[in-house]
């Protein structure tokens, strides 16, 4: 088992707001509460349009931050402090459909095996120095000692019962009913670095700081474990395959003609 600091499970001095969220609204995180209402009462969500950060509106650029895909540095560079959230693209479309349609949007995707290794290390360590795993999930994952323990934890729960680092990448960028990507531009982490740098340069962003860093995680998965990961993250594997196929085309495809909503793959 991983070492447990003396105060790791100390009783909080006040009620955990996430537990209150869960009890009253059926979700641990504030982002999930809004996401649920996006599907249930989309028209009412228009009243929350002011929640879209002013810096995001000023840049006319939506970055959907998929956890454990090097997004913290991008968020900080684009929007400044205080915008480290993990809202889905559905959220932005519900809050202000006109803005979401007119603005550029992008996200990073990561090989699911690689991301699983990063998330497993994050959970086992209780987070990083700058981003701690929520206490709710520290307690729920205290028994996890092996990859199989972790995979079983994921298999037994739905997305809203998981911390953001554990969720499928498709949850953040896709329509949950159709599986279609809602983000206009998709990049693959470590595969599209030059294209991403060129894209960010167009928006005034140069070299990125390395924030929320964690030790490089290497996992030797058995064939059975790999099959479990493939089942858990089937949508992400499919989405990444589509992005790679789009990248192989000789020319950039427009949003109107591309089922990936114009996944930007080649640097201009």
Q: Does the pLDDT at position 255 exceed 60?
A: no
Q: State the pTM of this model.
A: 0.82
Is there a contact between 136 and 19 (Cβ–Cβ < 8 Å)?
yes
Are 69 and 169 in contact by the 8 Å Cβ rule? The answer is yes
What is the per-residue pLDDT for 211?
59
- pLDDT tens digits for range 94-116: 999 999 999 999 999 999 999 99
Q: Which uninterrupted H or E stretch holds 187?
A: strand 185-188
Give residue 80's Cα distance to chain centre. Answer: 18
Query: What is the Cα–Cα distance from 3 to 1, expressed in whole angstroms?
Result: 6
Q: What's the whole-number mean pLDDT along residues 226-255?
A: 84
What is the pLDDT at residue 209?
67
Report whether pLDDT(225) > 80.
yes
**Beta carbons of 119 and 68 less than 8 angstroms apart:** yes
**Residues 117, 165: Cα–Cα separation, whole Å:** 11
| 181 vs 27 pLDDT, higher one | 181
Q: What is the mean pLDDT of residues 241-250?
A: 86
Other beta carbons within 10 angstroms of residue 203's beta carbon come to 14
Window from 95-109, 152-166, 252-266 with minimum mean pLDDT: 252-266
The pLDDT of residue 256 is 39
Q: Which residues contact 47 (CB under 8 A, 6 or more apart)?
A: none
User: With bands split at pLDDT 50, 70 and 90, how would you rate the model's confidence at 265?
Assistant: very low
- Phi, psi of 108, deg, nearest 5: -105, 140
Look up tokens 């803005």; give the residue: 99
Can you say whether the dihedral through the CA atoms of 96, 97, 100, 101 is positive or negative? negative
- Ordered by start, the domain boundaries in the chain are 17-248
pLDDT tens digit sequence for 171-186? 999 999 999 999 999 9
């Amino acid at each position: 088992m991983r070492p447990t600091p003396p105060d790791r499970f100390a009783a909080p001095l006040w009620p955990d707001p996430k537990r209150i969220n869960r009890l009253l609204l059926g979700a641990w995180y504030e982002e999930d509460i809004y996401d649920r209402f996006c599907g249930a009462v989309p028209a009412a969500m228009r009243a929350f349009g002011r929640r879209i950060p002013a810096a995001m509106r000023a840049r006319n650029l939506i970055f959907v931050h998929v956890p454990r895909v090097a997004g913290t540095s991008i968020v900080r560079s684009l929007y400044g402090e205080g915008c480290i959230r993990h809202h889905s693209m559905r959220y932005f479309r519900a809050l202000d459909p006109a803005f979401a349609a007119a603005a550029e949007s992008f996200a990073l995707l990561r090989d699911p095996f690689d991301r699983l290794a990063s998330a497993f290390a994050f959970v086992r360590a209780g987070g990083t120095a700058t981003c701690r795993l929520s206490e709710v999930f520290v307690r729920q994952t205290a028994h996890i000692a092996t990859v199989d323990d972790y995979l079983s934890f994921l298999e037994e729960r739905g997305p809203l019962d998981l911390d953001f680092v554990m969720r499928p990448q498709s949850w953040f960028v896709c329509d949950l009913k159709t599986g279609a990507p809602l983000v206009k531009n998709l990049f693959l982490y470590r595969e599209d670095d030059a294209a991403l740098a060129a894209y960010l340069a167009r928006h005034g962003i140069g070299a990125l700081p390395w924030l929320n860093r964690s030790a490089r995680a290497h996992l030797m998965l058995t064939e059975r474990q790999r099959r479990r990961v493939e089942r858990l993250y089937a949508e992400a594997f499919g989405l990444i395959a589509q992005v790679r196929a789009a990248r192989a085309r000789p020319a950039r495809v427009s949003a109107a003609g591309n089922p990936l909503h114009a996944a930007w793959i080649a640097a201009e």
